Amino acid sequence: MDLFLISNIITCLCAFAGFIFGIVKFFAPKKALYAQMITLAVGCMAFGRLYQVVRILTGGEILEEFQLGVLGVLGSLVFLFSANFGLMDSLADDGSKQYFKYRVIPLAAPAAAVAVYAAVFLFGDSPLLEMIVAGILTVFISGASYYNLKHLIFPDVDFGVINCLKTYNLLALVFEFLCVAEMVSNKSGSDVPALIIGVLSGAVLLAITPAVERGMKKWTT
């Protein structure tokens, strides 16, 4: 059986499980918008992977050309970025000078993503379309990973909510770097790394919504 297919099935099933968990736990009146956004991020990933599964099953190509599964990853990254940038960041960071280093250190995450993109796609031998798609994904990975790393190391002294969400931020950061690893692996077209990345992505997507739930519970009690 095609390892790409197995990898996509695993990620898809795990993401759907995480998505359903999030729907059940967070989609009720007066529940946190932050958790709803994370749930939708996992949902986008689930739908994107479902598309790739069907595409492989119907004899289509997922690596050589642009396909809609990429939109699922993009949607997921948009939510991860908006959740931390739009909802959480202002709660912790008041813009004062004492936190300057906590704003600079997280730049390491986007820098690493951009460095990989530059080395593999920009200076490597890549077709234009592949370069553009990977470039767009790298932009969103950079934005999302900056805030996830920032909230992972930030000393949240006022509200404490970010401290409770450190596990989630770590998982999201791992997921974003798995997206980078997947872009690189897809370029080479080898299926064993794709399977490993698929399994790891699945595990992370499965754990994200429960981690958010635990964090929210810890904060409110």
Partner 1 sequence: MDNLIYILFICTVAPLVLMLMLLKKRAKLTVGYMLIGIFVSLFVSELNTLLLSLFDGDMLYVTTTITPVTEEIFKAIPVLVFALLFTDDREKLMTIAFAAGIGFAMFENMVILVQNIESVTLGWAVIRGFSTALMHGVCTAAVGYGMSFIKKRRKLFYCGTFALLVMASIYHGIFNMLVQSDYKYFGFVLPAATYVPILMQMYGRNKAKVQKSK
Beta strands, E only, 17-100: none
What 8-state DSSP symbol labels residue 97? Answer: G
Q: In whole angstroms, what is the distance from residue 189 CA to residue 6 CA?
A: 15
Report the nearest approach of partner 1 to the CB of residue 40 (Å): 5
2 binds partner 1 (CB under 8 A): no
Binding partner 1 (rule: CB under 8 A), the pick from 12, 15, 37, 113 is 37
Identify which of residues 6 and 78 has a Cβ nearer to partner 1 in the complex: 78
- Distance in Å from the first CA to the final CA of the chain: 48
79 binds partner 1 (CB under 8 A): yes
Q: In whole angstroms, what is the distance from residue 28 CA to residue 25 CA?
A: 8
Q: In whole angstroms, what is the distance from residue 16 CA to residue 190 CA?
A: 26
Contact 25, 208 (CB under 8 A): no
54 binds partner 1 (CB under 8 A): yes
Report the nearest approach of partner 1 to the CB of residue 72 (Å): 6
Structure tokens that stand for 214 in this block: 């635990």
Binding partner 1 (rule: CB under 8 A), the pick from 72, 106, 143, 198 is 72
82 binds partner 1 (CB under 8 A): yes
4 binds partner 1 (CB under 8 A): no
Identify which of residues 20 and 196 has a Cβ nearer to partner 1 in the complex: 20
Q: In whole angstroms, what is the distance from residue 90 CA to residue 162 CA?
A: 11
User: Which residues contribute to the site for partner 1 (CB under 8 A)?
Assistant: 33, 36-37, 40, 43-44, 47-48, 50-51, 54-55, 57-60, 65-69, 71-72, 74-75, 78-79, 82, 86-87
